[in-house]
Amino acid sequence: EGETLGAGHGKIILLGEHSVVYGRRAIAAPIPLAIQARIEDTREGIDLIIPRWSIEQRLDFSAKRPPSFTRSLARVLEALGLSGRGMRIEVFPSVPRAMGLGGSAALAVAVLRALDAHFSLGLTDERINELAFECEKVAHGTPSGLDNTLATYGQFMLYRSGEQLERQVIEVTEPLPMVIAMSGVESLTARTVARVREAWQRNPGLYERIFDEIDSLVEVGLDALGKRDYETLGETMNINQGLLNAMQVSNWELEELIQIARTHGAVGAKLTGGGGGGSVIALCPDSSARVARAIREAGYHAIEVEVGGA
Ligand code: PMV
């Protein structure tokens, strides 16, 4: 009874992570991996259960330094007038944790949708997106809003944050054959975002030029996407990776995965999300199976996905 599931989408960033935090555009797409959540009433306290991640705990809101999930949930319950209600929150993730696939935003959206369904709150997507953005702020200070937007709407999108907010749905009729390769190294987006900020503060001129360059790759990539010109789209991904590497958010494992993907037929490969760990995406027209196999043979986890499409 009253057990409705709420879901949030995982995502990849095709082009434009990090520079999107500085008002440039990015292209992102949902992936067929999601997080689901379910709420049940209890007498008191809030229990969080995530079997797949071996998490089972009573949330302690009065702790000295509660983890970011507890802090963002406190904020959300307050905003929704649900503080003090007893509940059990069960979460079923198919998005791996900290793999740069938007897990934290997908988790927030799933829990918000489950709260909405269970307590009949009548929240609009717009409101869910706003609240998920609040959660992202708790998790990493200065988010662009891209993660929560993708987690909420689950659409292929051109995105720009801030005053010139853009949320343009991209029609992709033919799905993109891609491989997602996971480094197994947890990425802490908050850390790489902070790293880029320090470097930008030290050398604003150098970094602004990199951000502008990535924005022009987004422009070219968008056009290539429309024409299904995978060679050019792949090239923009490769150049974007070079610039992410220049920003020092890549690492050894990610570079290895990228080299394996390119040698086995990917037309473009880059890290996705915050970097410093997490995942690589590879555009693989006609080579998905070969690329995925080579990555697995090297001891990493890979999944083949079709991104976009009607
Ligand atoms: O690591 P993820 O999946 O949370 O993606 C982060 C994307 C960044 O551009 C690095 C940060 C942001 O807020 O957009």
208 contacts: CB under 8 Å, gap ≥ 6? 22, 200
Q: Which residue has the tokens 């949708």?
A: 113
264-308: pLDDT as tens digits: 999 999 999 999 999 999 999 999 999 999 999 999 999 999 999
Share of the chain above pLDDT 90, in %: 80
CA-closest residue to ligand 1 atom 10: 274
- Which are the catalytic amino acids? 147
pTM of the full structure: 0.94
d(CA 310, CA 305) in angstroms, rounded, equals 14
3-state secondary structure of 241: helix
Measuring from each residue's beta carbon to the nearest atom of ligand 1, which residues come in under 6 Å? 17-18, 20-21, 100-102, 143-144, 146-147, 187, 189, 193, 273-274
Asked if residue 236 lies in contact with residue 224, where contact means CB atoms within 8 angstroms, the answer is: yes
228-260 pLDDT per residue, tens: 999 999 999 999 999 999 999 999 999 999 999
Mutate to test the pocket of ligand 1, among 12, 24, 72, 146 (most ligand atoms within 8 A of CB): 146
Q: Is the pLDDT of residue 26 over 80?
A: yes
Cα of 102 from ligand 1 centre, angstroms: 7
Cα–Cα distance, 143 to 63 (Å, whole number):
25
Instruction: Report the atom number in ligand 1 closest to the C-alpha of 16.
Output: 9
pLDDT average, residue stretch 193-214:
97
Give the atom of ligand 1 at the shortest distance from the alpha carbon of 18: 9
Q: Degrees (nearest 5) of the Cα angle 76, 81, 86?
A: 85
Probe target for ligand 1 pocket from 13, 189, 191, 271, with the most ligand atoms within 8 Å of CB: 189
Task: Compute the mean pLDDT over every residue in the chain, rounded to the nearest whole number.
Answer: 93
**pLDDT at residue 198, as a whole number:** 97
Q: Could you give the CA distance from residue 300 to residue 119 in angstroms, rounded to a whole number?
A: 42
Residue 142 has pLDDT above 90, yes or no: no
Whether 40 and 88 have beta carbons less than 8 Å apart is answered as: yes
3-state helix/strand/coil string of 23-80: CCCEEEEEEEEEEEEEEEECCCCEEEEEHHHCEEEECCCCCCCCCHHHHHHHHHHHHC
Other CB atoms closer than 10 Å to residue 41's CB: what's the count?
Answer: 12
- For ligand 1, what atom is nearest to the CA of residue 146? 14
- Best residue for ligand 1 mutational test, from 13, 19, 31 (most atoms within 8 Å of Cβ): 13
- The alpha carbon of 136 and the centre of ligand 1 are apart by a number of angstroms equal to 10
Question: What mean pLDDT do residues 176-200 have?
Answer: 94
Q: Whose CA is closest to atom 5 on ligand 1?
A: 273
Q: What residues contact 155, with CB distance under 8 A and at least 6 apart?
A: 30, 169, 170
User: Residue 145 Cα, ligand 1 centroid: separation in angstroms?
Assistant: 9
What residues form DSSP beta bridges with 280? Answer: 181, 271
Query: What is the model's pLDDT at position 1?
Result: 45
Q: Report the percent of the chain where pLDDT is more than 70.
A: 98
* Strands lying side by side in the sheet with 279-283: 268-272, 279-283, 176-182, 301-307
Measured in whole angstroms, the distance separating CA 10 from the mean position of its chain's CA atoms is: 6
Q: Alpha carbon of 128 to those of 84, 133, 242, 245: distances in Å?
A: 21, 8, 35, 34
Which is the closest atom of ligand 1 to the Cα of 143?
13
Name the phi and psi angles at 284, rounded to 5.
-130, 65
Ligand 1 centroid to Cα of residue 147, in Å, is 6
Pocket test for ligand 1, best of 147, 160, 186, 280 (most atoms within 8 A of CB): 147
Give the pLDDT confidence score for residue 3 in this predicted structure.
Answer: 59
- What domains does the chain contain, in order, with CATH numbers? 5-169 (3.30.230.10), 176-307 (3.30.70.890)
Tokens of 26: 């990015």
Distance 261 CA to ligand 1 centre (A): 22
Query: Could you tell me if 300 and 254 are in contact, meaning their C-beta atoms sit under 8 angstroms apart?
Result: no
Mean pLDDT of 105-117: 95
pLDDT higher than threshold 80 for residue 96: no
Q: Which has the minimum average pLDDT: 12-21, 48-57, 198-207, 268-277?
A: 48-57
Atom from ligand 1 closest to the CA of residue 161: 14
Ligand 1 geometric centre to CA of 138 (Å): 14
Q: Can you tell me the ipTM of this complex? A: 0.94
How are the residues of the chain apportioned to helix, strand and coil, as percentages rounded to the nearest 5?
Answer: 45, 25, 30
Taking CA atoms only, the protein residue closest to ligand 1 atom 14 is 144
pLDDT at 213 over 70: yes
Instruction: State the CB neighbour count (10 A cutoff) for residue 164.
Output: 8
Structure tokens at 293: 């196999």
Residue 310: per-residue pLDDT: 59
